[in-house]
Amino acid sequence: MPSETINGERLMRHLHELGSIGRAQDGALVRLAGSEEDKLGRDKLVEWLKEADLDVVVDKVGNIFGIWNPDGVGPSHPVLMLGSHIDTVINAGIYDGCYGVLAGLEVIQTMMERGANPAVPIVIAAFSNEEGVLYSPDMMGSLVYAGGISADAALASVGTDGSVLGERLAQIGYAGTEEPGFLKPQAYVELHIEQGPVLERERVTIGAVENLQGISWQRIVIEGDANHAGTTPISMRKDAGLAAARVITFLRDRAKASSSRAVATVGTISFEPNAINVIPSRATFTVDLRDPNEHRLEEEEAALEEFLNQLETDEGVTVKVERLARSEPVKFDENIVKVIERTANARGYSYMRMTSGAGHDAQMIARVAPTAMLFVPSIGGISHNPKEFTQEQDLIAGANVLLDVARSLSGAEH
């Protein structure tokens, strides 16, 4: 096993330089996909890709590819793809997405410098609009790349500011001509910060991400009767707020009792009329259910439905459920996960298998290519926040594992 390592100083410099682009006057990092700030970030990435002698190609939805093709093979030849995204949320941290793209660049530069000779081209991908802040859906660039929606449909997306994504991409110079999907990955690997607290808690450096949770989002509206808080006996109430509270504790109790990685969250709520001395006539709240196993996720949804039906009887309320979003869990490629474990082990890094609780471009590319992810610890599990932080040694460790995984998957070891 090679003991070669990536250039940590260069990786950190790239991370901090990209993270300095798109700072608002108050210092907040904001590079929303399609914005002027996104253009500045893209320009910097393209500059670095070109400095590394990579071929830069932009496809119709603005996905950027940096291609290392040492043997000059044709465009139909399989490639190894390493990637993530460089767009951000509002008031973001500097690691989310950018780390995967810049670590991929670092891996290629290291391999070039050490004279590695991969059997397939290695490609860095920076997918458009992963965060989906202005334009829906999120993970858009990788979704289009995997054929989930057409490029035309994506480009027609109207942003929350009224703009059209296709026009904005043209304005900032990133409306390419290549058809999304033009490169055929034989494998896709995405290195990312965990955005959760597990690795830090477990004191483990590398997460070998074997699957990604399915997500079920529902909005629930419970209707009862608004009555006087003083004059209405408990037995005569139709208290929509109490019914909502019972749903919240039910979901927690189930998730806590589950032996799986299931999670359930009620993140939003409102009561009407929302007066201190009036029993709530309406409670509106959202339910976020996640499970890495589709069958179990369906079981959780069914259990909630049954509970809500019983609630109508028990509390004299009516319940309406609106489905907001639903994605099936993704099982990543077992072989790549094993390669990740093996290389982490050979490097002497602690590692564990885990589930991604958040969505990533990898879940889209998994539709068309063997795919897996690596995680490194996020301090405090914090992400989408300026406090997002991963220690330098862990960032370097993750990139080193990515280097070895890339060597292995590209046949560069042979």
Q: Which is nearer to a copy of itself, 4 or 294 (CB)?
A: 294
Place of tokens 């290519």: 369
**Direct distance between the N- and C-terminal alpha carbons of the chain, in angstroms, rounded to an integer:** 11
Place of tokens 């139909």: 76
Residue 44: Cβ-neighbour burial (10 angstroms; 0-12, 13-18, 19+): middle
Q: Which is nearer to a copy of itself, 185 or 377 (CB)?
A: 377
Residue 78: Cβ-neighbour burial (10 angstroms; 0-12, 13-18, 19+): middle
Least distance between a copy of itself and beta carbon 253 (Å): 10
Pick from 366, 289, 371: nearest CA to 326: 289
Do the beta carbons of residue 203 and residue 393 sit within 8 Å? Answer: no
Q: Measure the CA–CA gap between 15 and 68, rounded to whole angstroms.
A: 21
Q: Which is nearer to a copy of itself, 136 or 232 (CB)?
A: 232
Angle, helices 392-409/334-347, rounded to nearest 10 degrees: 120
Least distance between a copy of itself and beta carbon 297 (Å): 12
**3 state SS of 215:** strand
Q: Which is nearer to a copy of itself, 76 or 235 (CB)?
A: 235
* Residues constituting the chain: 414
The Cα-based distances of 66 to 36, 51, 141 in angstroms read 21, 11, 15
> Encoding tokens for residue 269?
């709520």
Least distance between a copy of itself and beta carbon 162 (Å): 23
Least distance between a copy of itself and beta carbon 330 (Å): 13
Least distance between a copy of itself and beta carbon 201 (Å): 7
Q: Which is nearer to a copy of itself, 106 or 315 (CB)?
A: 315
For a copy of itself, the binding residues (CB under 8 A) are 194-198, 201, 213, 215, 217, 227-236, 239, 241-242, 244-246, 248-249, 252, 255-256, 261, 263-271, 274-280, 286, 288, 290, 324, 356-359, 381-384
Q: Which is nearer to a copy of itself, 184 or 387 (CB)?
A: 387
> Encoding tokens for residue 239?
């208290």
Q: Which is nearer to a copy of itself, 66 or 241 (CB)?
A: 241
